[in-house]
């Protein structure tokens, strides 16, 4: 019975994937997320996730397009950026 409850709990936890432009950033964010309870962090290269954390150096057209594609695939997206240009904010939020 305990094993069944654990399996059900794991299935109900959202799966979170991390996408970043470099392996150090990916590892850092992944390590922090694994310390959190209530989520399952997807293995590197996992295709499907409920939530995708993306890290960008800047919010540019490429970043906005990547967010748009992730949202169209059904994932919720959390963007991590060091700074946001006010002109780029509206298109990024609309994506």
Task: Categorize the per-residue pLDDT at 7 as very low, low, confident or very high, splitting at 50, 70 and 90.
Answer: low
Task: Please give the average per-residue pLDDT across 72-89, as a whole number.
Answer: 84
Place of tokens 């298109």: 91
Cα–Cα distance for residue pair 25/65, rounded to 1 Å: 20
pLDDT at position 46 is 77
- In whole angstroms, what is the distance from residue 83 CA to residue 20 CA? 16
User: pTM of the full predicted structure?
Assistant: 0.77
- The mean of the pLDDT values for the chain is 84
Residues whose CB is less than 8 angstroms from the CB of residue 30 and which lie 6 or more positions away in sequence, other chains included = 18, 41, 44
What is the CB neighbour count within 10 angstroms for residue 46?
13
Give the pLDDT confidence score for residue 23 in this predicted structure: 92
The pLDDT value given to residue 64? 87
**Residue 10 banded pLDDT, cuts 50, 70, 90:** low
Cα separation of 42 and 19, whole Å? 11
């Amino acid at each position: 019975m305990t094993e069944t409850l654990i399996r059900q709990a794991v299935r109900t936890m959202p799966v979170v994937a991390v996408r970043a432009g470099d392996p150090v950033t990916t590892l850092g964010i992944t390590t922090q997320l694994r310390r959190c309870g209530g989520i399952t962090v997807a293995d590197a290269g996992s295709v499907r996730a409920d939530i995708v954390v993306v890290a960008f150096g800047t919010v540019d057209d490429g970043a906005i397009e990547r967010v748009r594609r992730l949202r169209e695939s059904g994932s919720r997206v959390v963007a991590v950026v060091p700074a946001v240009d006010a002109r780029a904010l509206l298109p990024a939020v609309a994506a």
